[in-house]
C-alpha cells in the first residue's frame, strides 16, 4: 500500500489556475469571467466541448454503497460545527451494526482527525482505492489532515484544487458499505459546498444539519446557509443551536453565555419554516476531550459523560435526525442509537 500525500494529488489542475476556475473539463472552460487573465484561457476555450465528467460515474458507484449522506453546515466558523459532526458520528456508531463514515471537507481547517483521536494516522492507497482511517470497527474518517507533512502546514489552494480533492475523496475513497456518511463542510457557502452538491446530484444528498449559536451575528449568516440549501435543493433536517449556555461541571446547572438577542435559533427556525433540532449547552469537559487535552482523547463524550445536559441534548438531536432518516429509509432497526445502555442513577 502507498501512503498518500496531499502534494502528490490533483496534477491535472493547473497550479496557476484562477481561484474560481471551472476546471479544464468543464463546458465553461475558458469562457467565464473568472478565466480572464488566466494563461490557460485560450487553450481551454478552443478545446473540444467537454462531455460528461467520467468521475461522476465513479462517484455514483462509490456512493451506491452509502445509504444516507448528510451535510453538516454552518454560516460562521467557530460555532461548533465540527464538534457536532464528531458527536453525531459517535452517537450513530454506538450501534455496532451501523457503519458510519465521516468526510472532512473543511480543507483549509481540517479538524476531524484530532477530534476523533486519530490525528497521527495516515491514509494509504491500494488497488481498490484510498483507505479511510478507522476510529473503531464501524466508524471511519477521511480528511486532508492525514495527508499533511506537518499538522501546522497551511493549505493554500485555489478553488479548482479544492474541488479536485473533493472529487477524489468521493470517487477514490474505498468506504465499503456505509449506513450513514456525515460530511463536515467549511463555514459559509463556498466552492466546496457547490462542488459536493454538484458531484452528489445524481445519487442525492439526504439532508443537512445546520449549526449556529444563539446570537444574531451567527444567525444572520445561518439564514444565508438555509437559503443556499433551498436554492440547490438540499433537504434541511433542522437547525442546532450550539453553546446555548454553560453547564457547571460541579452542580450541572446551566447559565446563559450568548444572549439570544433576536430570539435565538428556535425563533429563526420557526420564522423560516424549518425544524429546530434542539439547543446544546457548553460543557468544558467536551472541549477538553475534543482538543486532545486529556487521557480520554478520542473517546466519546456522550459515552463517558452520559448524564451531562449536553449529552442528553445531543442524544435528543440524534433521535430527531434518525426520525428524519427513517422517513425515507428502511434503517429503523439499525439506527437505534438508544440501544447503547445508559448508566442508571444510584438510588
pLDDT at res. 334: 44
Which of 251, 333, 241 minimizes the C-alpha distance to 278? 241
Rg (CA), the chain: 21
Residue 344 has pLDDT above 50, yes or no: no
Is 82 marked within a binding site? yes
Helix (H, G, I), strand (E, B) or coil at 32: coil
Per the structure block, which three cell numbers stand in for 336?
A: 437505534
Is 251 marked within a binding site? yes
* H/E stretch holding 119: none
Cα–Cα distance, 299 to 51 (Å, whole number): 47
Is 44 marked within a binding site? yes
On whether the CB atoms of residues 249 and 285 are closer than 8 A, the answer is yes
Is 340 marked within a binding site? no
Per the structure block, which three cell numbers stand in for 210?
A: 445546520
pLDDT at res. 155: 86
Single pTM value for the model: 0.81
Per-domain boundaries in the chain: 55-339
> Sorting pLDDT into bands at 50, 70 and 90, what band is 10?
very low
On whether the CB atoms of residues 65 and 197 are closer than 8 A, the answer is no
- The most confident of 12-16, 192-196, 222-226, 326-330, by mean pLDDT: 222-226
**Which residue would you say has higher pLDDT here, 20 or 221?**
221
User: pLDDT tens, 251-292?
Assistant: 877 788 877 777 789 999 999 999 999 999 998 888 877 766
Query: Around Cβ 109, how many Cβ atoms within 10 Å?
Result: 13
Is 108 marked within a binding site? no
User: pLDDT tens, 14-62?
Assistant: 545 666 677 666 667 777 787 877 767 777 777 654 456 788 999 999 9
Which of 3, 336, 339, 334 minimizes the C-alpha distance to 178? 334
Instruction: Please compute, for residue 326, the number of CA atoms within 13 A of its CA located in the half-sphere on the CB side.
Output: 12
Residue 343 has pLDDT above 50, yes or no: no
User: pLDDT tens, 59-72?
Assistant: 999 999 999 999 99
Is 232 marked within a binding site? no
Which of 260, 272, 268, 306 minimizes the C-alpha distance to 87? 306
On whether the CB atoms of residues 99 and 131 are closer than 8 A, the answer is no
Count Cβ atoms within 10 A of the Cβ of residue 51 and give its class: 0-12 exposed, 13-18 middle, 19 or more buried: exposed
* H/E stretch holding 244: strand 236-247
Instruction: Name residue 131's beta-bridge partners.
Output: 124
Give Cβ neighbours of residue 88 (< 8 Å, ≥ 6 apart): 72, 182, 209, 314, 317, 318, 321
Average pLDDT, the chain: 84
Is 233 marked within a binding site? no
User: pLDDT tens, 153-173?
Assistant: 888 887 788 888 999 999 999
Is 229 marked within a binding site? no
Query: Around Cβ 269, how many Cβ atoms within 10 Å?
Result: 24
Is 188 marked within a binding site? no
pLDDT at res. 11: 39
DSSP state, residue 340: S
Give Cβ neighbours of residue 300 (< 8 Å, ≥ 6 apart): 87, 90, 91, 94
Per the structure block, which three cell numbers stand in for 300?
A: 466519546
Is 159 marked within a binding site? no
Is 21 marked within a binding site? yes
pLDDT at res. 30: 74
CATH number, domain 55-339: 3.40.50.300
DSSP state, residue 49: P
- Is the Cα dihedral 334, 85, 291, 118 positive or negative? positive
pLDDT at res. 319: 96
Cα–Cα separations (whole angstroms), residue 219 to 225, 258, 266, 296, 318: 10, 12, 11, 33, 22
Is 126 marked within a binding site? no
Residue 149 has pLDDT above 90, yes or no: no
User: pLDDT tens, 105-126?
Assistant: 999 999 999 999 999 899 988 8
Helix (H, G, I), strand (E, B) or coil at 214: coil
Instruction: Name residue 182's beta-bridge partners.
Output: 70, 102
Residue 331 has pLDDT above 50, yes or no: no
Amino acid at each position: 500500500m502507498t501512503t498518500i500525500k496531499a502534494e502528490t494529488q490533483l496534477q491535472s489542475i493547473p497550479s496557476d489556475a484562477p481561484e474560481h476556475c471551472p476546471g479544464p473539463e468543464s463546458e465553461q472552460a475558458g469562457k467565464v469571467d473568472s478565466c480572464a487573465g488566466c494563461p490557460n484561457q485560450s487553450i481551454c476555450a478552443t478545446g473540444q466541448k467537454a462531455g460528461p465528467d467520467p468521475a461522476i460515474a465513479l462517484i455514483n458507484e462509490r456512493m451506491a454503497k452509502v445509504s444516507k449522506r448528510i451535510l453538516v453546515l454552518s454560516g460562521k466558523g467557530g460555532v461548533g460545527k465540527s464538534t457536532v459532526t464528531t458527536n453525531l458520528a459517535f452517537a450513530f456508531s454506538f450501534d455496532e451494526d451501523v457503519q458510519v463514515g465521516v468526510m472532512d471537507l473543511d480543507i483549509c481547517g481540517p479538524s476531524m482527525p484530532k477530534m476523533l483521536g486519530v490525528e497521527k494516522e495516515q491514509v494509504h492507497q491500494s488497488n481498490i482505492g484510498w483507505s479511510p482511517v478507522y476510529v473503531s470497527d464501524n466508524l471511519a474518517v477521511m480528511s486532508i489532515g492525514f495527508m499533511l507533512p506537518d499538522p501546522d502546514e497551511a493549505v493554500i489552494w485555489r478553488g479548482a484544487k479544492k474541488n479536485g480533492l473533493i472529487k477524489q475523496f468521493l470517487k477514490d475513497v474505498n468506504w465499503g458499505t456505509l449506513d450513514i456518511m456525515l460530511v463536515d463542510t467549511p463555514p459559509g457557502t463556498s466552492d466546496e459546498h457547490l462542488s459536493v452538491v454538484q458531484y452528489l446530484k445524481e445519487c442525492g444528498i439526504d439532508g443537512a444539519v445546520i449549526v449556529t449559536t444563539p446570537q444574531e451575528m451567527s444567525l444572520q449568516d445561518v439564514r444565508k446557509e438555509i437559503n443556499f440549501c433551498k436554492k440547490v435543493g438540499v433537504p434541511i433536517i433542522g437547525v442546532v443551536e450550539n453553546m446555548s449556555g454553560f453547564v457547571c461541571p460541579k452542580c450541572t446547572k446551566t447559565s446563559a453565555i450568548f444572549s439570544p438577542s433576536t430570539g435565538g435559533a428556535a425563533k429563526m427556525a420557526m420564522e423560516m419554516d424549518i425544524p429546530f433540532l434542539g439547543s446544546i449547552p457548553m460543557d468544558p469537559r467536551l472541549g477538553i476531550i475534543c482538543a486532545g487535552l486529556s487521557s480520554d482523547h478520542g473517546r466519546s463524550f456522550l459515552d463517558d459523560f452520559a448524564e451531562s445536559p449536553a449529552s442528553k441534548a445531543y442524544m435528543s438531536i440524534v433521535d430527531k435526525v434518525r426520525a428524519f432518516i427513517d422517513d425515507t429509509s428502511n434503517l429503523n432497526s439499525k439506527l437505534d442509537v438508544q440501544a447503547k445502555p445508559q448508566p442508571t442513577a444510584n438510588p
